């Protein structure tokens, strides 16, 4: 939770009781990804513990994919909420996500999960069809303290479809 005057993560602001393993604030043993608004998307910082390694020093690809799926889904929901001036994000589900791994993700170091909205498409018939949002998501190893560049570890493009009215968990 944020201190007074600090921004809440979208997950804490809109679904504090969610038990989603990747991003639910109430998921007892989950990753608890916290995504914050940035221009045209969201950004999160997270450190993945060594217990989620597939091999020594390499975080399991499914964990990285989960981060991208949750973060992309939230990006789509927030974009649709903002576009329609809703009081809360609508329920969105992943229709597809294509992940490309660029380098092994190490455990125990700060990672940055960054997303941007590529396109919002309305359904085939106004008011009848469901909207979809295309989102690009990247996972990067944060720049080392004292300088240096972020390193791209994985990238994805996802399509997230509006399923219903307001998100409720």
Per residue in 28-37, pLDDT (tens digit) is: 999 999 999 9
- Specify the 3-state DSSP secondary structure of 107: coil
4 in a structural domain: no
pLDDT of residue 114: 98
Phi, psi of 102 (to 5 degrees): -105, -35
CA gap 33, 113 in Å, rounded: 9
Whether residue 5 is contained in a domain is answered as no
The secondary structure of residue 131, as a DSSP letter, is P
Domain that holds residue 48: 10-166
Any idea how long the chain is? 169
Specify which residues 94 forms β-bridges with: 160
59 within a domain of the structure (yes/no):
yes
Region 47-59: what's the mean pLDDT? Answer: 97
46: domain CATH number? 3.10.129.10
- Residue 144 is predicted with a pLDDT of 86
Q: Is residue 95 one of the residues assigned to a domain?
A: yes
Residue 68, domain member (yes or no): yes
Question: pTM for the whole thing?
Answer: 0.91
- The answer to whether position 3 is within a domain reads no
Number of domains in the chain: 1
């Amino acid at each position: 939770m944020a201190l007074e005057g600090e921004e809440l993560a979208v997950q804490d602001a809109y679904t504090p009781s969610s038990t989603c393993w990747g991003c639910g604030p109430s998921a007892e043993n989950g990753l608890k990804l916290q995504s914050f608004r940035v221009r045209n998307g969201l950004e999160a910082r997270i450190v993945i513990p060594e217990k989620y390694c597939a091999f020594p020093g390499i975080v399991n690809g499914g964990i990285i994919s989960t981060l991208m799926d949750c973060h992309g889904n939230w990006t789509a929901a927030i974009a649709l909420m903002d576009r329609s001036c809703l009081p809360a994000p609508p329920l969105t589900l992943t229709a597809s996500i294509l992940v490309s791994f660029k380098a092994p993700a190490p455990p125990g170091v700060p990672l940055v999960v960054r997303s941007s909205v590529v396109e919002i498409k309305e359904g085939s018939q106004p008011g009848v069809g469901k909207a979809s949002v295309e989102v690009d998501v990247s996972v990067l190893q944060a720049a080392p303290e004292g300088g240096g560049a972020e390193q791209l570890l994985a990238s994805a493009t996802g399509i997230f479809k509006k399923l219903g009215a307001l998100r409720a968990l």
